[in-house]
Amino acid sequence: MSEGLFDGVLARGASGAGDRAWLQAMLDAEAALARARASVGQIPGDVAEAIAAACRAEDYDVASLGRDAVGGGNPAAPLAKALTARVEGAARGEVHRGFTSQDVLDTALMLVVARVRPALLGDLRGAADACAALAAEHRDTPIAGRTLLQQAVPTTFGLKAAGWAAGLDGAVARLDAFRPAAQLGGAAGTLASLGGEALAVRAAFAAGLGLDDPALPWHTDRGRIVGLAAALGGACAAVAKVAGDVVLLAQTEVGEVREATGGTSSTMPHKHNPVAAVSALGCARPAPGLVAAVLSAAGGHEHERAAGSWHAEWTPLRALLVAAISAAAWLRESVSGLEVDAERMRANIHELTLAEQAATALADETGRERANELVAEAAREGRLPEGADVDVGAATGSAGALVDRFLAGR
């Protein structure tokens, strides 16, 4: 997204959360306010359109705005100045009028989120769909059920993949419920410089941007920010669960799945790194700390505008947005076309995961007590008793029915 040395390393599909996207969103806010004021007659329509016409990100230099923001506390003021310099006549006095810097930046954040969300949701849904497809295809493929990283009893890969899909579906639902809202309050939230039509201006402003128009300015009510951070952190958590399982199943010693596009190496030809899943984990792992950083800031906004807490939101929130977008994109790549080795899954199942079934089967012949003894004796040598009639499929309980139920309800 950006041009830095590290920015692209794990980032994926995150240009919509990059500087240029922020710049355009800030300009869109400026244009929308001008038009909203025109809509209630505060300024002539052509003045508003002159301002709006100058609101194209490609006409501005990010680096130069960034430099002008140094010490000023935020990039809204230098942008307003640069925008003013690109208009003429009456428009000059009307640029940014009614805004406080936080109005511009909070609104821009919401626009950025609203704009990147479809792609983010698309990747989460794409990953979930790929998992659901695996669930359908492998409804009856046995795999070792593992608890505490030890084989316990059999399950199916279909049920495992359905669980992955369910987690991602949940993340989608939580992100989808977030409602981006416009911010307009002026210096102390009273809309004082927008006169008697202030509420009408605000309604038009929000409508023009396709954002909610909340009853009150939310300069220091950061519930929306908390909700956003939580939804992004939740998406990272859901991704991390799936990516972690893929990495574990792809271990050399397990070998049950393999990424279609994993990296290879001439000096280590056996190595098939699950690069996409590992990258997804790399993106997702810092998320809890980033959420904490956002929440710390979001809970302490003093009075009408905070002494530092607002500024404190930017670094972790922007990092979290990039992390969630990238994690979802990597995971989608990982699970789309994941190569599943059903034979290896079956072969890996330790015989003794069927010990209880074997004992039950033997009990018909020998009685329960003796059956248990026979199984215990054999188990000491790491095998089942000879003649124990076991069937992995029968040991997977309601796995198939659970998959059916899940897929039917999606």
Site for a second copy in 45-64 (CB under 8 A): 62-63
Q: Which of 175, 236, 340, 345 binds a second copy (CB under 8 A)?
A: 236
Q: Which is nearer to a second copy, 50 or 184 (CB)?
A: 184
Query: What minimum distance in Å lies between the beta carbon of 355 and a second copy?
Result: 5
Closest C-alpha to 250, from 238, 263, 239, 237: 263
> Between residues 32 and 395, which has the closer beta carbon with respect to a second copy?
395
**Cα angle 59, 63, 66; round to 5:** 105
Q: By CB under 8 A, name the one of 45, 93, 118, 308 that touches a second copy.
A: 308
Q: Which of 13, 126, 180, 189 is close enough to bind a second copy by CB under 8 A? A: 189
CB 235 within 8 A of CB 290: no
Q: Is 383 a catalytic residue?
A: no
| 315 belongs to the binding site for a second copy (CB under 8 A) | yes
**Residue number, 50 or 182, with CB nearest to a second copy:** 182
From residue 84 to residue 123, the character string flagging contacts with a second copy as x (rule: CB under 8 A) and all else as - is: ----------------------------------------
Beta-bridge partners for 258 = 339
- Going through 120-278 in order, the beta strands assigned E by DSSP cover 142-147, 150-156, 257-258
**Which residue, 49 or 181, is less far from a second copy as judged by CB?**
181
Q: Is 258 a catalytic residue?
A: no
Find the binding residues for a second copy in span 262-291 (CB under 8 A): 266-275, 277-291
DSSP designation for 59: G
The sign of the torsion formed by the CA atoms of 371, 373, 378, 380 equals: positive
Minimum CB distance to a second copy smaller for 29 or for 247: 247
How distant is the alpha carbon of residue 44 from its chain centre? 42
Residue with tokens 């792992």: 285
Asked if residue 42 lies in contact with residue 197, where contact means CB atoms within 8 angstroms, the answer is yes
358-387: contacts with a second copy (CB under 8 A): 372, 375-376, 379-380, 382
Q: How far is the CB of 88 from a second copy (least distance, A)?
A: 21
Under a CB-based contact definition with an 8 Å cutoff, are residues 1 and 8 in contact? yes
Rounded CA separation 149/145 (Å): 9
Q: Identify the helix (H) or strand (E) that includes residue 26.
A: helix 19-39
Q: Taking CB under 8 A as the rule, which mask of x and - marks residues 318-337 in contact with a second copy? A: xx---x--------------
Catalytic residue, chosen from 37, 305, 318, 332, is 305
Which of 306, 324, 335, 345 lies at the binding interface for a second copy (CB under 8 A)? 306
For residue 34 the two structure tokens come to 């001008």
Q: Interaction with a second copy in 12-41: which residues (CB under 8 A)?
A: 19, 22-23
Q: Which segments within 316-405 are labelled E, that is strand?
A: 339-340
User: Binding-site residue total for a second copy (CB under 8 A)?
Assistant: 168
Q: Is 256 helix (H, G, I), strand (E, B) or coil?
A: coil
Parallel, antiparallel or unpaired: strands 257-258 and 150-156: unpaired
Catalytic residues: 265, 305
